[in-house]
C-alpha cells in the first residue's frame, strides 16, 4: 500500500461508520470548540450503537487537530471537523497521541486505580496545550472511582479536558452528572440509516441483499447504526441472532424507557418475543433494585408500578400480537405476571 493509499484509508476510517446522523451534534460541538467556549467536561449520552465512542474520538481529534488550530488562528469558518490526516489526527486515530488517555474497559468496571492513572496523566503538562482523558462507558465506574474522579471534575487542571460516554447516565452519581456538559444523541432518521447501511454493504463488497432483507435487518437492529455495523461484520450471511442486540438496545435508566424500547423491538423482532421478555425482566429488576437501594420514595410507595402500568400492558399486547404473527406459542398469563400484571385477564386488554 502506498503512502497516499494509506492516507486515503485513514480518511475513510475516520468518517466511517457510526457517525451517521451526528452532523448537527458535530457542528454544534465544533462551534463551541472554535469559539473557545467548550466546557472542560463533556458527557456524550445515548443508546448503544449511536456513535458515542466515535464522536468522543472525533472530539479529541477536533481539540488537537493541527490544521484546525491553524485555521482557527486565521479565523476561518470553513473547517469545522478535524482534518483526519495531520500528524495529530493520525496519532489520535491510532490511539498513540501522548496527550490523550482513553479508559476503555468494555465489560469490566472502572476502578479507583484507573481513575488515578488518568489523574496522573493530567498532572503532566503538555507543551502543545491540552491533556485529554476519555472515559468510555463512564457508568461502569465503581462508587469509589466516581468519588475519585469528582476531585478532578470539581477543579479541572487548566490543561485538562475530560470526555465521558454513557448509555446509562442516571447510573452515575448526580455529583458527576452535574459537573458535565451533557449531550444526548438521538436515533438518526430511519431512511438515512437504511441508505447508509446499503452504502456500507456496497463499499465493503458484502454482496447484494434483497431490499426486503435489508429493511428487515435495519429494523431488527432498532435503527441503531452501531448494531447494524456489528451485525454485518459478525454475520454477513444474513444470520439473524439478535439476543445480544436486544440486551443492549433496551438498556435504560427509567422503566418507561426500557418498556418503550422493548415494545419497539417486539414490533420488529417478531418471533424473538421470548428474548425480549427475558431481557426486559432483567433490566427492570436492576432499575428497581437500584432505586430501592437509593431510597427513592416513589418506589417505596409503589407509584412506579402505576406509572408504567400502561406501558407494561402495551408491551404485553405487542408481544402477543407478534407471537400470533410469528406463530409462536406464548404463555400470556406467565408473561403478564413477569411484567408485574398479575391481575391481567384475557378480556381486560
Ligand atoms: Zn488534523
Output the CA 23–ligand 1 centroid distance in Å: 18
State whether 259 and 170 are in the same domain: no
Q: State whether 210 and 170 are in the same domain.
A: no
What's the CA-to-centroid distance between 224 and ligand 1, angstroms? 28
CA distance 326 to 316: 15
Same domain flag for 101 and 194? no
pLDDT by residue for the chain (349 residues), tens only, comes to 444 444 444 444 444 445 688 888 888 999 999 888 899 999 999 888 888 988 999 999 999 998 877 766 554 545 578 888 899 998 998 889 999 999 998 778 999 999 999 999 999 988 878 999 999 999 999 999 999 999 999 999 999 999 999 988 988 999 999 999 999 988 888 888 888 888 877 766 666 677 788 888 888 787 888 878 777 776 544 444 455 666 666 677 776 677 777 777 766 655 466 667 667 767 776 776 676 677 766 655 555 565 567 777 777 777 777 667 666 666 677 667 666 665 555 544 4
HEC sequence for 304-317: HHHHHHHHHHHHHH
Residues 155 and 264 in one domain: no
Shared domain for 161 and 98, answered yes or no, is yes
Domain boundary among 124, 157, 184: 184
The pTM of the full predicted model, rounded to 2 decimals, is: 0.70
- Regarding whether 111 and 11 lie in a shared domain, the answer is yes
Residue 209 has a CB neighbour count (10 Å cut-off) of 18
Cα dist from 332 to 138, 261, 322, whole Å: 38, 20, 12
- The predicted pLDDT at position 1 comes to 46
pLDDT at 13: 45
Could you give the C-alpha distances from 91 to 62, 64, 84, 106, 343, in angstroms and in order? 12, 10, 10, 22, 60
Give the end of a domain, one of 165, 184, 203. Answer: 184
Closest CA to 215 of 180, 237, 190: 190
Report d(CA 289, CA 305) in Å as an integer.
Answer: 14
**Residue 273, burial from CB neighbour count under 10 angstroms (0-12, 13-18, 19+):** buried
d(CA 130, CA 77): 22
Domain identity same for 153 and 200: no
Q: Measure the CA–CA gap between 26 and 56, rounded to whole angstroms.
A: 10
- Bridge-based pairing of strands 160-166 and 41-45 is parallel
**Residue finishing a domain among 184, 204, 224:** 184
Do 153 and 253 belong together in one domain? Answer: no
Q: Tell me how far the alpha carbon of residue 220 lies from the centroid of ligand 1, in angstroms.
A: 36
Q: CATH no. for residue 90? A: 3.40.50.300
- Residues 24, 142: Cα–Cα separation, whole Å: 33
Q: What is the pLDDT of residue 316?
A: 75
Å from CA of 69 to ligand 1 middle: 9
CA–centroid distance, residue 221 to ligand 1 (Å): 33
Per the structure, the complete domain to which residue 316 belongs is given by: 190-348
The terminus-to-terminus CA distance of the chain in angstroms comes to 63
C-alpha 97 – ligand 1 centre gap (Å): 12
pLDDT at 67: 84
Domain total of the chain: 2
Ligand 1 centroid–CA 36 distance in Å is 17
- Can you tell me the distance from the alpha carbon of 297 to that of 76, in angstroms, rounded to the nearest whole number? 53
| Cα 66 to ligand 1 centre (Å) | 5
Grid cell in block for residue 9: 484509508
| Same domain as 155, residue 21 | yes
Taking the centre of ligand 1 as the mean of its atom positions, its distance from the CA of residue 62, in whole angstroms, is: 7
Are 157 and 207 members of one domain? no
What is the CA(10)–ligand 1 centre distance, in A? 12
pLDDT value of position 346: 52
Centroid of ligand 1 to alpha carbon of 310 (angstroms): 50
Residue 61 CA to ligand 1 center (angstroms) comes to 7
Residues 64 and 120 in one domain: yes
Question: Which residues lie below 8 Å from residue 26, measured CB to CB, with a gap of 6+?
Answer: 19, 55, 58, 80, 81
Q: CA quadruple 15, 245, 173, 116: dihedral positive or negative?
A: negative
Q: Tell whether 204 and 122 lie within a shared domain.
A: no
pLDDT of residue 127: 81
Amino acid at each position: 500500500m502506498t503512502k497516499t493509499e494509506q492516507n486515503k484509508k485513514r480518511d475513510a476510517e475516520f468518517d466511517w461508520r457510526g457517525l451517521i446522523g451526528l452532523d448537527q451534534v458535530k457542528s454544534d460541538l465544533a462551534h463551541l470548540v472554535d469559539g473557545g467556549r467548550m466546557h472542560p467536561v463533556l458527557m456524550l449520552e445515548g443508546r448503544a450503537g449511536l456513535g458515542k465512542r466515535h464522536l468522543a474520538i472525533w472530539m479529541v481529534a477536533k481539540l488537537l487537530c493541527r490544521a484546525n488550530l491553524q485555521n482557527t488562528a486565521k479565523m476561518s469558518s470553513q473547517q469545522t471537523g478535524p482534518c483526519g490526516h495531520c500528524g495529530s489526527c493520525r496519532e489520535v486515530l491510532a490511539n498513540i497521541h501522548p496527550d490523550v488517555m482513553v479508559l476503555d474497559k468494555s465489560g469490566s468496571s472502572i476502578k479507583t486505580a484507573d481513575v488515578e492513572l488518568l489523574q496522573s496523566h493530567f498532572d503532566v503538562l503538555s507543551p502543545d496545550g491540552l491533556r485529554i482523558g476519555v472515559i468510555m462507558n463512564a457508568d461502569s465506574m465503581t462508587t469509589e472511582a466516581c468519588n475519585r474522579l469528582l476531585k478532578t471534575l470539581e477543579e479541572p487542571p487548566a490543561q485538562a479536558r475530560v470526555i465521558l460516554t454513557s448509555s446509562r447516565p442516571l447510573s452515575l452519581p448526580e455529583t458527576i452528572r452535574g459537573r458535565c456538559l451533557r449531550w444526548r444523541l438521538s436515533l438518526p432518521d430511519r431512511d438515512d440509516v437504511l441508505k447508509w447501511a446499503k452504502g456500507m454493504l456496497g463499499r465493503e463488497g458484502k454482496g447484494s441483499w434483497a431490499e426486503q432483507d435489508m429493511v428487515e435487518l435495519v429494523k431488527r437492529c432498532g435503527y441503531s447504526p452501531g448494531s447494524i455495523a456489528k451485525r454485518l461484520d459478525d454475520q454477513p450471511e444474513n444470520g439473524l441472532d439478535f439476543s445480544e442486540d436486544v440486551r443492549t438496545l433496551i438498556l435504560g435508566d427509567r422503566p418507561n424507557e426500557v418498556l418503550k424500547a422493548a415494545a419497539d423491538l417486539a414490533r420488529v423482532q417478531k418471533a424473538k418475543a421470548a428474548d425480549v421478555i427475558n431481557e426486559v425482566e432483567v433490566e427492570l429488576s436492576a432499575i428497581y433494585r437500584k432505586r430501592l437501594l437509593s431510597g427513592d420514595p416513589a418506589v417505596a410507595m409503589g407509584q412506579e408500578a402505576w406509572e408504567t402500568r400502561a406501558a407494561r400492558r402495551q408491551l404485553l399486547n405487542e408481544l402477543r400480537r407478534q407471537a400470533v404473527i410469528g406463530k409462536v406459542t406464548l404463555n400470556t398469563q406467565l408473561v403478564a405476571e413477569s411484567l408485574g400484571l398479575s391481575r391481567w385477564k384475557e378480556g381486560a386488554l
